[in-house]
Amino acid sequence: MYLKHKNLTNQIIKTLYDVYNELGHGFLENVYQNTLYLELKNRGIYVEAQKQIKVYYKNTQVGVYYADLIIDEVIILELKAAEVIVKEFEFQLLNYLKPTEIEVSLLLNFGVKPEFKRKIFTIKKKLESSLE
C-alpha cells in the first residue's frame, strides 16, 4: 500500500514518541509544539510554526487559521494535549487541509498515552468539492 510522504510521516511519528517519552503527559499544547518544533529541526526537517492559512468562500476571504506546524511544506501537524482523540479533532484536521495545496496531515495527541491519526485530502478531492 502506497502512503504519500510515508518516510516523513514515520519520522514525525517517531519524534512524537521520543518527545512524549521525555516530557510525558500533562503539559499544555504549546509546550509540546515548541518541543516538537525543536526536535524536528534538530533532525534536519524543515518546520514552520503557526503559519497563517487563509480560508475563502466564493473567492472572498472569510477567515484565517494558524497551522500548529507545517513540515517540508507537505504535511500539516495539528497538536493536541487531550485525554483522547475525538472525531471533532479529525474533522478539524480535514478542514485545515481544504484551503491549502497540502494533501497529508497528522493529528498528534500528547494525551494519557501518545496517539496519532493520519488524514488525507487529495487535490483531486479538493477540485471535486469546489465544483459541487
| Domain extent listing, the chain | 6-131
User: Which is it for the CA torsion 9, 11, 16, 17, positive or negative?
Assistant: positive
Nearest in space to 108 (alpha carbons), one of 42, 43, 23, 44: 23
Tens digits of per-residue pLDDT, 101-130? 999 999 999 999 999 999 998 766 655 565
pLDDT of residue 121: 83
What's the pTM value of the predicted model, to 2 decimals? 0.89
Q: Looking at residues 61-82, what average pLDDT do you find? A: 96
Q: Looking at residues 82-107, what average pLDDT do you find? A: 92
